Chain A
């Protein structure tokens, strides 16, 4: 007897009927948005060489990746992310393509998470990458697409958050401390650990830079953040970062997203990955970001193709989970079931095809009597049954007291 033959591995699950319908409808919605903006779909393999994810900068801790080896003993990983494989494709097969590249994807990523923490290891993601432009126009396009995606989830209380990793980078570069201390500062800002951050910075010194860094995790909220940030520290580069972010913010407000956009200059995760504007999207009802992304100008260079890029990914299943709370999705029920009496089976199939041509969902009955067919139809909630014999008889199943269930 096999012990694990009836269950799925931890962190995975089967997606049935309504849930599937929900996921697909979200997929259609998002692909619609992406396609309408000129993005082309790309599918990358589920398996990649470990090396693709083990570049100079280790964006993914090795313990979070599912690994296996191929028949030559080379180390493979089950794709933990789509952006890096897409960067690989852009740097190789699409190297001579006219820039910018607009690519979108819908595929699973796999991350080995601590067990029993209630999050999936298999995440269905959709996202876009805009490769080959460093302009503010490119940032605005990706950001406004991200907001459009969030708005399409019909969750009134969505929030889109904008930051720029450059603010932290400029500050910390001026700080007189070793790399380990800087990394510690970064991680404390990331988790907004105010007390520990204060202690650490106090031990480094009391100056304009340490004071500014102390305030950094608190720099989130609405428009007032820009003024607070500008007061903290003033030099040309930081002024540049703030004013560019403010321009972006104001453009989004102009587009009618006031009240939905917030700023957080304390987003400092994946510091070696992101190089500029970063974004996150939240939905009321899900405890983690459902959308995240930003500008990553150095990633493609690691694959030998030095071009800038920006993009974002959406956790489609998280969005579906939130939408399920307010929307009911049901798997489609057939409209008609067609039964063919003995020696009229072919006629029945033809008749059913005719109905399908009119846009109906039609099941062919596999039962050997019309009575059993009607019983089944009543149970499944199929509205009409057709019996094809010498004559064609159509009966309403629902509304005759036949439906139970």
Chain B
């Protein structure tokens, strides 16, 4: 059957998560030289049994959801923003940061009854967060440095990923509230897990032992 022949396909989020995952796979004992010298190639073999696909974070979810990739490594931030149908089997521990509500230092965000404006790259995460609080907010989608929005008085606060908080501090901003912790997750297509259970489970076991 041809599914036994096709290598297990793993989509990796390009950039830091890719490097950390490759490090992990090498620790387990896979030969990742093809990924290390990838040039412009987007699909790369790792040993005989795995194939790595390099993609943008949101696309990792799309490929896994459709089953064209069996597994994926993607940040919890993207999972929270995109949602979707897949299994989230392991927390890989790297790529740690958090979602936070932040704004100008010393401002009491919750004060007053006016509708607040939130600038963010993550409108769904922001909406869900304020929905749970029963708060109506105006959400403005920003593509680049979200920190600008409160400085330019476009918004009362931002919802963004905070790693060390240095950018916030240097711009006179501070974290008001932590929304959720973030780290890299191993996601698996719901059908692949069932059709290729043995391969996937043994790989996950190796990964968990080497974290």
Is B36 an interface residue, CB under 8 A from the partner? no
Contact B190 A220 (CB under 8 A): no
Q: Which of A191, A195, A287 contacts B191 (CB 8 A)?
A: A287
Interface string of A281-304 (1 = CB under 8 A from B): 010101111000000000000000
Give residues of chain B (23-42) contacting chain A, Cβ–Cβ below 8 Å: none
Task: Report the Cα distance A117→B11, complex, angstroms.
Answer: 17
CB < 8 Å neighbour of A193 from B2, B88, B194: B88
Q: Nearest-CB distance from B139 to chain A (Å)?
A: 17
List the A side residues contacting B192 at CB < 8 Å: 287
Per the bound structure, the CA–CA distance linking A191 and B190 in Å amounts to 9
Given contacts A287-B68, A288-B190, contact A118 B1 (CB under 8 A): no
| Complex contacts, A262 vs chain B, CB 8 Å | 194, 197
Does A264 interact with chain B (Cβ within 8 Å)?
yes
Knowing A117-B62, A157-B3, A192-B87, say if A286 contacts B194 (CB, 8 Å).
no
Chain A residues contacting B197 (CB-CB under 8 Å) are 220-221, 262
> Closest residue of chain B to A197, judged by CB?
B88
Confirm or deny: A186 has a beta carbon within 8 angstroms of a beta carbon on chain B.
no
> A81 near B: Cβ within 8 Å?
no
Is A288 a contact of B67 with CB atoms below 8 Å? yes
Interface hits, A256-277 → B, CB 8 Å: 262, 264
CB-CB nearest in chain A for B190: A288
B176 CB within 8 Å of chain A: no
Contact B65 A117 (CB under 8 A): yes
* Chain B nearest Cβ from A140, distance in angstroms: 22
Q: What is the total number of residues of chain A having a CB less than 8 Å from a CB of chain B?
A: 22
Within residues 167 to 211 of chain B, which ones have a CB less than 8 A from any CB in chain A?
188-195, 197
Within 8 A of B (CB), among A132-162: 156-157, 159, 161
Question: Which residues of chain A are within 8 angstroms of B1 by Cβ–Cβ distance?
Answer: 156-157, 284
Given A284-B1, A284-B195, A286-B191, also A195-B90 (CB < 8 A):
yes
**A210 to B147 CA separation, bound complex (whole angstroms):** 42
Interface pair B195/A282, CB less than 8 Å apart: yes
Q: Give the distance in Å from the alpha carbon of A288 to the alpha carbon of B68 in the complex.
A: 11
Contacts of B194 in A (CB 8 A): 159, 161, 220, 262, 264, 282
Residue of B nearest to A192 (CB): B87
B68 → A minimal CB distance (Å) = 7
Asked if B89 is at the interface of the complex by the 8 Å CB criterion, the answer is yes
Residues of B within 8 A of A193 (CB): 87-89
Please give, as numbers and ranges, the residues of chain A lying within 8 Å of B66 by CB-CB distance: 118, 287
> Nearest CB to that of B197 among chain A residues?
A221
Interface 1/0 per residue, A190-226 and B, CB below 8 Å? 0111111000000000000000000000001100000
Q: Count contacts on B: residues with CB < 8 A to the other chain.
A: 25
Contacts of A286 in B (CB 8 A): 67, 191
Residues of A near B56 (CB, < 8 A) are none
User: Complex formed: what's the CA distance from A282 to B67 in Å?
Assistant: 12
A-chain residues with CB within 8 Å of residue B67 when the two chains form the complex:
286-288
Contacts of B99 in A (CB 8 A): none
What's the nearest-Cβ distance from chain A to residue B105, in Å? 32
Q: Tell me, yes or no, whether B122 is within 8 Å of chain A by CB.
A: no
Question: Looking across the interface, which residue of chain A has its beta carbon closest to that of B68?
Answer: A287
Whether B91 is near chain A, meaning CB under 8 Å from some CB there, is: yes
**What residues on B are CB-neighbors of A118 within 8 Å?**
62, 66
- What is the bound-complex CA distance between A220 and B195, given in angstroms? 11
Q: How far is the CA of A87 from the CA of B46 in the complex (A)?
A: 52
A185 to nearest B CB, angstroms?
Answer: 14
In the complex, chain B residues whose CB is within 8 Å of the CB of A282: 191, 194-195
Residues A288 and B191 in contact in the complex (CB < 8 Å), given A117-B65, A118-B62: yes
Residue B85 at the A interface, CB < 8 A?
yes
Residues of chain A contacted by B190 (CB below 8 angstroms): 287-289
Q: In the complex, what residue of chain B is closest to A158 when comparing beta carbons?
A: B195
- Given A195-B90, A220-B197, A221-B197: A287 and B62 within 8 A (CB)? no
Q: Which residues does chain A contribute within 8 Å of B68, judged by CB atoms?
A: 287
Contact of A194 among B62, B89, B191 (CB under 8 A): B89
Contacts of B189 in A (CB 8 A): 287
Q: Pick the contact of B3 from A161, A191, A192, A284 — CB < 8 Å?
A: A284
Supply 19 further A-B pairs (C-beta < 8 A) apart from A118-B62, A156-B1, A287-B65.
Answer: A117-B84, A157-B1, A159-B194, A191-B86, A191-B88, A192-B188, A193-B88, A194-B90, A195-B91, A220-B193, A220-B194, A220-B197, A221-B197, A262-B194, A282-B191, A282-B194, A282-B195, A284-B2, A287-B67
B interface list, Cβ under 8 A from A: 1-3, 62, 65-68, 84-91, 188-195, 197
**What is A's interface to B at a CB cutoff of 8 Å?**
117-118, 156-157, 159, 161, 191-196, 220-221, 262, 264, 282, 284, 286-289
Closest 8 CB pairs of A and B: A287-B67, A192-B87, A195-B91, A193-B88, A287-B66, A282-B191, A284-B3, A191-B88
Can you sample 26 A-B contacts with CB below 8 Å? A117-B62, A117-B65, A118-B62, A157-B1, A159-B194, A191-B86, A192-B88, A192-B188, A192-B193, A193-B88, A193-B89, A195-B90, A196-B91, A220-B193, A282-B194, A284-B1, A284-B3, A284-B195, A286-B67, A286-B191, A287-B67, A287-B68, A287-B189, A288-B190, A288-B191, A289-B190
